[in-house]
């Protein structure tokens, strides 16, 4: 695993380098006038066929090279489904709030966003010895594993439980806010013409509507 301080330096450069690409794609989407986009923000290694897979890492399989700390290149009200999984926790809170505001801006009135993050309550389950977290470092003690899960060797900039994520969604302007973690579990479910989900254990999953 690449040390986080090196990743932070690379993404600081990426934030500047990607600016022309944001502008270019903003113009392309305006010309296309597509009002039924399916976008996957911060896809990492999880490439989802049928979606516009967006990430800042050019070494991953992606469709669109962007930096989520910049405004999304999609037009207002053009996205039918937005999906982001285990991405917001890698951003500082103000940047995460800005991403949520941008998701709301680009969503159609009948659109839906699926947002998944590590659940802070899972940290306490690990600390009590009710679950394990062996990556990225090995710890025998449950408390060490819990810290492992929460901070992920400095990769995670923030932590979320249901109340925090709900508050962030409200601040971003969403009115339809539903914690579906318990209702539907973490298994994939249909969104438009796609099946999305299959989140890892300990995930908190929200569905957001404008």
What percentage of residues in the chain have a pLDDT greater than 70? 98
User: Can you tell me whether residue 147 is helix, strand or coil?
Assistant: helix
| Residue 186 contacts residue 122 (beta carbons within 8 Å) | no
Inform me whether the pLDDT recorded for 185 exceeds 80.
Answer: no
Inform me whether the pLDDT recorded for 118 exceeds 90.
Answer: yes
pLDDT on residue 9: 77
d(CA 20, CA 143): 45
Least confident of 81-90, 107-116, 186-195: 186-195
Inform me whether the pLDDT recorded for 160 exceeds 70.
Answer: yes
pTM exceeds 0.85 for this model? yes
Inform me whether the pLDDT recorded for 137 exceeds 70.
Answer: yes
Mean pLDDT of 43-57: 95
| Residue 14 pLDDT level (bands cut at 50, 70, 90) | confident
Q: What is the DSSP letter of 24?
A: H
Domain with CATH 3.40.50.150 in the chain: 4-117+160-209
d(CA 33, CA 30): 5
Q: Are strands 203-209 and 107-118 parallel, antiparallel or unpaired?
A: antiparallel
* Residue tagged 């819990």 (tokens): 146
Q: End-to-end CA distance of the chain: give it in Å, rounded.
A: 37
- For the chain, strand residue ranges (E) read 37-41, 52-55, 64-65, 79-85, 107-118, 176-179, 189-191, 194-196, 203-209
Inform me whether the pLDDT recorded for 72 exceeds 80.
Answer: yes
CATH number of 4-117+160-209: 3.40.50.150
What percentage of residues in the chain have a pLDDT greater than 90? 76
Inform me whether the pLDDT recorded for 154 exceeds 80.
Answer: yes
d(CA 63, CA 57): 11
**Nearest one of 93, 138, 140, 136 to 117, comparing CA atoms:** 93
């Amino acid at each position: 695993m690449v040390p986080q301080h090196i990743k932070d330096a690379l993404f600081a450069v990426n934030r500047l380098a990607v600016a022309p690409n944001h502008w270019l794609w903003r113009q392309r989407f305006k010309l296309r006038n597509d009002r039924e986009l399916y976008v996957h923000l911060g896809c990492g290694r999880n490439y989802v066929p049928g979606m516009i897979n967006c990430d800042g890492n050019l070494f991953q399989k992606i469709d669109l090279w962007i930096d989520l700390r910049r405004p999304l290149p999609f037009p207002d009200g053009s996205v039918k489904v937005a999906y982001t999984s285990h991405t917001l926790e890698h951003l500082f809170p103000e940047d995460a709030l800005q991403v949520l505001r941008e998701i709301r801006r680009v969503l159609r009135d009948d659109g839906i966003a699926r947002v998944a993050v590590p659940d802070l309550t899972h940290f306490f389950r690990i600390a009590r010895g009710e679950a394990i977290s062996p990556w990225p470092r090995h710890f025998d003690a449950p408390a060490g594993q819990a810290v492992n899960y929460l901070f992920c060797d400095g990769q995670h900039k923030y932590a979320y439980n249901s109340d925090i994520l709900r508050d962030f969604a409200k601040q971003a302007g969403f009115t339809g806010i539903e914690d579906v973690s318990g209702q539907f579990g973490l298994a994939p479910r249909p969104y438009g013409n796609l099946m999305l989900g299959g989140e890892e254990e300990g995930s908190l999953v929200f569905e957001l509507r404008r």
